[in-house]
Amino acid sequence: MQTGCFHSVGSRYDTEADELDVESTSLAALFKKYGTPWYLKLDTEGADGIILQQISAGACAAWENPPSFFTQLSKLSSKPPFLSFELNSLTYLEQAAAQGYEEFKVVPQSHHKAKHLLDEHGRPLTHAGEFGEDAVGLSGKSWISQGDATSLCRRLCLVHDEHADVQSFATGPPRYVDRDFATLRACFPVESKNDEEWYDIHCRHRTALQESGQAANS
């Protein structure tokens, strides 16, 4: 079963998709209630950019009753030292860099398997792997610049539209990809060339080392 905020994502691979109304929240509301997390993982099937925009705007919108309008909440007082998101758009790296996330890792995900947890077909379930300093990317545990990370993404992926986010790409002219098993409409502006691989982008904020030192001394 596929899920997502966009119909094009929920219906990819020619699956049927129905719209459901669900209660939503915002980063500002979550941070206010629970505090700023050490690590923020985004994995929202193409909607990662919406959440990155909340960080970029500095002010988040939250659903109110009735859920037909937004109320602007107070600015985010701080940002998580570490952040990750799925590689679906090159614009995500630009948004992250604009908010002080200056170092990156491109992390393959297919080998992260929980061999003791099997699905109904007996296959091991996947997991996200380590994060922050412990995340192992194609550069090992070393962090690389936005430019180097973007160049690496270009080598690994089919870049259908380098300037589009998922939402605008879904409403634009269709692009098609020849996969081993079928020719499919491209779902994301950036898609892995390898049918069996996908990537997360891990980011380190410029304040991460400072905050790590403060935590060690506390």
Could you tell me which of 170, 207, 148 has the C-alpha nearest to residue 9?
A: 170
Supply 80's token pair. Answer: 């998580």
Task: Write out pLDDT tens, residues 15-55.
Answer: 666 777 878 777 777 888 888 889 989 877 656 666 676 66
Kindly indicate the confidence band of residue 209, based on its pLDDT and cuts at 50, 70 and 90: confident
Kindly indicate the confidence band of residue 133, based on its pLDDT and cuts at 50, 70 and 90: very high
Kindly indicate the confidence band of residue 195, based on its pLDDT and cuts at 50, 70 and 90: confident
Asked if 39 contacts 105 with a C-beta cutoff of 8 angstroms, the reply is no
Domain boundaries, the chain: 81-217
pLDDT above 70 for 199: yes
pTM: 0.78
Could you tell me which of 80, 87, 17, 14 has the C-alpha nearest to residue 46?
A: 87
- Coil, strand, or helix at residue 198? coil
- Coil, strand, or helix at residue 44? coil
Kindly indicate the confidence band of residue 137, based on its pLDDT and cuts at 50, 70 and 90: very high
Could you tell me which of 217, 215, 207 has the C-alpha nearest to residue 82?
A: 207
Kindly indicate the confidence band of residue 105, based on its pLDDT and cuts at 50, 70 and 90: very high
- pLDDT score for 25: 76
- pLDDT score for 1: 43
Alpha carbon distance 52, 167 (integer Å):
13
Task: Write out pLDDT tens, residues 164-177.
Answer: 887 788 788 878 87
Kindly indicate the confidence band of residue 95, based on its pLDDT and cuts at 50, 70 and 90: confident
Geometric angle at alpha carbon 167, from 8 and 25, rounded to 5°: 100
Could you tell me which of 214, 137, 189 has the C-alpha nearest to residue 8?
A: 189
Element (H, E) at 84: strand 82-86
- pLDDT score for 48: 66
Geometric angle at alpha carbon 189, from 25 and 148, rounded to 5°: 95
Note the residue count of the chain.
Answer: 218
